[in-house]
Amino acid sequence: MTLQTPDHDEAHGGGLGSRLNWLRAAVLGANDGVVSTAGLVVGVAGATDSRATLLTAGLAGLLAGSMSMAAGEYVSVSTQRDSEKAALALEKRELATEPQAELRELTELLEGKGLGPELAREVAEQLTHHDALRAHAEVELGIDPDDLTNPWHAAGASFLAFTAGALLPLLAIVLPPTGQRLWITVVAVLAALALCGWTSARLGAAPVGPAVLRNVAGGALAMAVTYVAGTLLGAVGV
Protein backbone atom coordinates (compact mmCIF):
# COMPACT_ATOMS: atom_id res chain seq x y z
CA MET A 1 0.00 0.00 0.00
CA THR A 2 1.39 3.39 -0.90
CA LEU A 3 -1.17 5.97 0.03
CA GLN A 4 0.70 9.12 0.96
CA THR A 5 -1.05 11.97 2.63
CA PRO A 6 0.78 15.24 2.01
CA ASP A 7 -0.76 17.03 4.96
CA HIS A 8 0.22 15.09 8.05
CA ASP A 9 -1.39 17.51 10.47
CA GLU A 10 -4.85 16.57 9.22
CA ALA A 11 -4.57 13.22 10.92
CA HIS A 12 -2.93 14.19 14.19
CA GLY A 13 -5.45 14.77 16.95
CA GLY A 14 -3.20 16.93 19.09
CA GLY A 15 -1.51 18.89 16.31
CA LEU A 16 -2.02 22.53 15.51
CA GLY A 17 -3.44 21.69 12.07
CA SER A 18 -6.00 19.40 13.62
CA ARG A 19 -7.07 21.98 16.19
CA LEU A 20 -7.47 24.52 13.40
CA ASN A 21 -9.58 22.02 11.49
CA TRP A 22 -11.85 21.54 14.49
CA LEU A 23 -12.17 25.28 14.92
CA ARG A 24 -12.93 25.74 11.23
CA ALA A 25 -15.55 22.99 11.39
CA ALA A 26 -17.12 24.65 14.45
CA VAL A 27 -17.35 28.00 12.66
CA LEU A 28 -18.90 26.35 9.60
CA GLY A 29 -21.40 24.49 11.81
CA ALA A 30 -22.38 27.69 13.61
CA ASN A 31 -22.66 29.47 10.28
CA ASP A 32 -25.02 26.75 9.06
CA GLY A 33 -27.13 27.15 12.17
CA VAL A 34 -27.36 30.91 11.67
CA VAL A 35 -28.32 30.76 7.98
CA SER A 36 -30.83 27.93 8.06
CA THR A 37 -32.61 29.10 11.21
CA ALA A 38 -32.62 32.72 10.05
CA GLY A 39 -34.15 31.70 6.73
CA LEU A 40 -36.75 29.66 8.57
CA VAL A 41 -37.86 32.23 11.15
CA VAL A 42 -37.77 35.17 8.75
CA GLY A 43 -39.94 33.17 6.35
CA VAL A 44 -42.44 32.36 9.08
CA ALA A 45 -42.35 36.00 10.23
CA GLY A 46 -43.40 36.96 6.69
CA ALA A 47 -46.57 34.94 7.19
CA THR A 48 -47.48 35.51 10.83
CA ASP A 49 -46.95 37.80 13.84
CA SER A 50 -47.57 35.00 16.32
CA ARG A 51 -44.65 34.71 18.72
CA ALA A 52 -45.66 31.14 19.68
CA THR A 53 -45.58 30.08 16.04
CA LEU A 54 -42.19 31.71 15.52
CA LEU A 55 -40.79 30.02 18.61
CA THR A 56 -42.18 26.63 17.59
CA ALA A 57 -40.86 26.89 14.04
CA GLY A 58 -37.46 28.20 15.15
CA LEU A 59 -37.01 25.58 17.85
CA ALA A 60 -38.06 22.77 15.52
CA GLY A 61 -35.61 24.08 12.92
CA LEU A 62 -32.83 24.28 15.51
CA LEU A 63 -33.38 20.71 16.70
CA ALA A 64 -33.85 19.25 13.22
CA GLY A 65 -30.74 21.00 11.93
CA SER A 66 -28.48 20.13 14.84
CA MET A 67 -29.58 16.48 14.86
CA SER A 68 -29.07 16.23 11.13
CA MET A 69 -25.61 17.79 11.38
CA ALA A 70 -24.66 15.45 14.24
CA ALA A 71 -25.94 12.36 12.43
CA GLY A 72 -24.16 13.30 9.21
CA GLU A 73 -20.92 13.94 11.06
CA TYR A 74 -21.23 10.67 12.99
CA VAL A 75 -21.70 8.69 9.79
CA SER A 76 -18.88 10.38 7.92
CA VAL A 77 -16.33 10.15 10.75
CA SER A 78 -17.30 6.52 11.48
CA THR A 79 -16.74 5.61 7.86
CA GLN A 80 -13.40 7.41 7.86
CA ARG A 81 -12.41 5.64 11.06
CA ASP A 82 -13.44 2.26 9.67
CA SER A 83 -11.32 2.72 6.60
CA GLU A 84 -8.37 3.88 8.72
CA LYS A 85 -8.75 0.81 10.92
CA ALA A 86 -8.95 -1.45 7.88
CA ALA A 87 -5.81 0.14 6.44
CA LEU A 88 -3.99 -0.37 9.77
CA ALA A 89 -5.10 -4.01 9.95
CA LEU A 90 -3.85 -4.62 6.43
CA GLU A 91 -0.57 -2.93 7.27
CA LYS A 92 -0.22 -5.13 10.36
CA ARG A 93 -0.77 -8.28 8.26
CA GLU A 94 1.75 -7.16 5.66
CA LEU A 95 4.32 -6.40 8.35
CA ALA A 96 3.84 -9.89 9.79
CA THR A 97 3.92 -11.78 6.51
CA GLU A 98 6.47 -9.85 4.45
CA PRO A 99 8.67 -7.72 6.70
CA GLN A 100 11.45 -7.40 4.12
CA ALA A 101 9.14 -5.99 1.46
CA GLU A 102 7.68 -3.61 4.05
CA LEU A 103 11.14 -2.41 5.04
CA ARG A 104 11.94 -1.79 1.37
CA GLU A 105 8.68 0.06 0.97
CA LEU A 106 9.35 2.28 3.98
CA THR A 107 12.87 2.97 2.67
CA GLU A 108 11.46 4.05 -0.69
CA LEU A 109 8.87 6.29 0.93
CA LEU A 110 11.58 7.99 2.97
CA GLU A 111 13.70 8.40 -0.16
CA GLY A 112 10.65 9.97 -1.77
CA LYS A 113 10.62 12.49 1.06
CA GLY A 114 14.15 13.50 0.16
CA LEU A 115 16.49 11.26 2.18
CA GLY A 116 19.47 9.71 0.43
CA PRO A 117 19.29 5.90 -0.15
CA GLU A 118 21.64 4.93 2.70
CA LEU A 119 20.17 7.31 5.24
CA ALA A 120 16.65 6.28 4.21
CA ARG A 121 17.59 2.64 4.76
CA GLU A 122 19.01 3.37 8.19
CA VAL A 123 16.04 5.51 9.27
CA ALA A 124 13.64 2.84 8.00
CA GLU A 125 15.46 0.15 9.96
CA GLN A 126 15.43 2.17 13.17
CA LEU A 127 11.78 3.14 12.79
CA THR A 128 10.89 -0.49 12.09
CA HIS A 129 12.82 -1.62 15.14
CA HIS A 130 11.17 0.99 17.32
CA ASP A 131 7.52 0.63 16.23
CA ALA A 132 7.01 -0.71 12.73
CA LEU A 133 3.23 -0.28 12.61
CA ARG A 134 3.38 3.32 13.79
CA ALA A 135 6.10 4.12 11.25
CA HIS A 136 4.05 2.69 8.39
CA ALA A 137 0.86 4.32 9.65
CA GLU A 138 2.50 7.73 9.78
CA VAL A 139 4.74 7.64 6.73
CA GLU A 140 2.55 5.56 4.46
CA LEU A 141 -1.02 6.28 5.57
CA GLY A 142 -0.58 9.67 7.20
CA ILE A 143 -2.48 8.63 10.33
CA ASP A 144 -1.63 8.36 14.01
CA PRO A 145 -2.77 4.86 15.07
CA ASP A 146 -3.36 5.96 18.68
CA ASP A 147 -5.37 9.01 17.80
CA LEU A 148 -8.18 8.26 15.36
CA THR A 149 -11.05 10.76 15.40
CA ASN A 150 -13.88 9.73 17.70
CA PRO A 151 -17.22 9.87 15.82
CA TRP A 152 -19.16 10.72 19.00
CA HIS A 153 -16.91 13.70 19.67
CA ALA A 154 -17.32 14.90 16.10
CA ALA A 155 -21.11 14.47 16.29
CA GLY A 156 -21.32 16.30 19.62
CA ALA A 157 -19.19 19.16 18.36
CA SER A 158 -21.37 19.58 15.25
CA PHE A 159 -24.52 19.51 17.36
CA LEU A 160 -23.21 22.22 19.69
CA ALA A 161 -21.84 24.40 16.91
CA PHE A 162 -25.09 24.34 14.94
CA THR A 163 -27.15 24.98 18.08
CA ALA A 164 -25.00 27.95 19.08
CA GLY A 165 -25.47 29.48 15.64
CA ALA A 166 -29.21 28.73 15.49
CA LEU A 167 -29.90 30.35 18.87
CA LEU A 168 -28.99 33.80 17.52
CA PRO A 169 -31.78 34.20 14.92
CA LEU A 170 -34.20 32.30 17.15
CA LEU A 171 -33.74 34.73 20.06
CA ALA A 172 -33.55 37.74 17.76
CA ILE A 173 -36.94 36.96 16.23
CA VAL A 174 -38.72 35.88 19.43
CA LEU A 175 -37.54 38.42 22.02
CA PRO A 176 -38.12 41.88 20.45
CA PRO A 177 -41.60 43.45 20.09
CA THR A 178 -43.55 42.60 16.92
CA GLY A 179 -42.71 45.75 14.94
CA GLN A 180 -38.97 45.51 15.64
CA ARG A 181 -38.23 41.80 15.34
CA LEU A 182 -37.57 41.64 11.61
CA TRP A 183 -34.91 44.31 11.28
CA ILE A 184 -33.25 43.26 14.53
CA THR A 185 -33.01 39.69 13.25
CA VAL A 186 -31.67 40.75 9.85
CA VAL A 187 -29.01 43.01 11.39
CA ALA A 188 -27.98 40.41 14.00
CA VAL A 189 -27.78 37.65 11.39
CA LEU A 190 -25.76 39.67 8.88
CA ALA A 191 -23.35 40.77 11.64
CA ALA A 192 -22.93 37.17 12.80
CA LEU A 193 -22.34 36.00 9.23
CA ALA A 194 -19.73 38.71 8.72
CA LEU A 195 -17.98 37.48 11.87
CA CYS A 196 -18.15 33.82 10.75
CA GLY A 197 -16.81 34.71 7.30
CA TRP A 198 -14.02 36.76 8.82
CA THR A 199 -13.06 34.01 11.28
CA SER A 200 -13.02 31.18 8.78
CA ALA A 201 -11.03 33.26 6.31
CA ARG A 202 -8.47 34.07 9.01
CA LEU A 203 -8.27 30.41 10.09
CA GLY A 204 -7.73 29.34 6.48
CA ALA A 205 -5.33 32.22 5.79
CA ALA A 206 -7.61 33.34 2.92
CA PRO A 207 -8.41 36.94 1.92
CA VAL A 208 -10.97 38.30 4.40
CA GLY A 209 -12.99 40.70 2.22
CA PRO A 210 -14.40 38.24 -0.33
CA ALA A 211 -15.12 35.64 2.38
CA VAL A 212 -17.13 38.13 4.44
CA LEU A 213 -18.97 39.40 1.38
CA ARG A 214 -19.88 35.93 0.12
CA ASN A 215 -21.07 34.82 3.53
CA VAL A 216 -23.19 37.91 4.16
CA ALA A 217 -24.66 37.79 0.65
CA GLY A 218 -25.57 34.12 1.03
CA GLY A 219 -27.42 34.76 4.28
CA ALA A 220 -29.16 37.86 2.92
CA LEU A 221 -30.34 35.89 -0.10
CA ALA A 222 -31.66 33.05 2.10
CA MET A 223 -33.65 35.49 4.26
CA ALA A 224 -34.97 37.44 1.25
CA VAL A 225 -36.20 34.29 -0.49
CA THR A 226 -37.93 32.80 2.54
CA TYR A 227 -39.39 36.18 3.54
CA VAL A 228 -40.97 36.65 0.11
CA ALA A 229 -42.28 33.07 0.19
CA GLY A 230 -43.66 33.54 3.71
CA THR A 231 -45.28 36.84 2.83
CA LEU A 232 -46.97 35.37 -0.24
CA LEU A 233 -48.24 32.38 1.72
CA GLY A 234 -49.43 34.67 4.51
CA ALA A 235 -51.23 36.94 2.01
CA VAL A 236 -53.22 34.09 0.46
CA GLY A 237 -54.08 32.86 3.95
CA VAL A 238 -52.45 29.42 3.88
Q: In the bound complex, what is the minimum distance in angstroms from residue 116's beta carbon to Zn ion?
A: 21
Q: How far is the CB of 20 from Zn ion (least distance, A)?
A: 29
Say how far apart CA 60 and CA 31 lie, in whole Å.
Answer: 18
Give the residue with the Cβ less far from Zn ion, 113 or 202: 113
Q: Rounded to the nearest whole angstrom, what is the least distance from the CB of residue 106 to Zn ion in the complex?
A: 6
CA distance 4 to 137: 10
CB nearer to Zn ion: pick between 140 and 144: 140
Give how far Cα 30 sits from Cα of 115, 164, 179, 216, Å. Answer: 44, 6, 27, 14
183-186 contact pairs (CB < 8 A, 24+): 185/38, 185/41, 185/42, 185/45, 186/42, 186/220, 186/223
Judged by CB under 5 A, the chain residues 148 through 207 that form the site for Zn ion are none
Choose between 110 and 170: whose C-beta lies nearer to Zn ion: 110
Count interface residues toward Zn ion (CB under 5 A): 3
Nearer to Zn ion, 37 or 107 (CB): 107
Q: Which of 45, 109 has the CB closer to Zn ion?
A: 109
Which of the residues 89 through 148 are near Zn ion (CB under 5 A)? 102, 136, 140
Encoded one letter per residue, x for contact with Zn ion by CB under 5 A and - for no contact, window 44-83 reads ----------------------------------------
Least Å distance, CB 10 to Zn ion, is 19
Question: CA-CA distance, 124 to 228, in Å (whole number)?
Answer: 65
Report the candidate in 132, 138, 127 with the shortest Cα–Cα distance to residue 84.
138
Asked if 66 contacts 159 with a C-beta cutoff of 8 angstroms, the reply is yes
CA distance linking residue 189 with residue 59, whole number of Å: 17
First to last CA, the chain: 60
CB of 1 to Zn ion, least distance (A): 6
The residue among 101 and 191 lying less far from Zn ion, judged by its C-beta, is 101
Q: How far is the CB of 128 from Zn ion (least distance, A)?
A: 10
Residue number of the CB closest to Zn ion reads 136
Residue 132's nearest CA partner among 113, 164, 104 is 104
Interacting residues toward Zn ion by CB under 5 A: 102, 136, 140
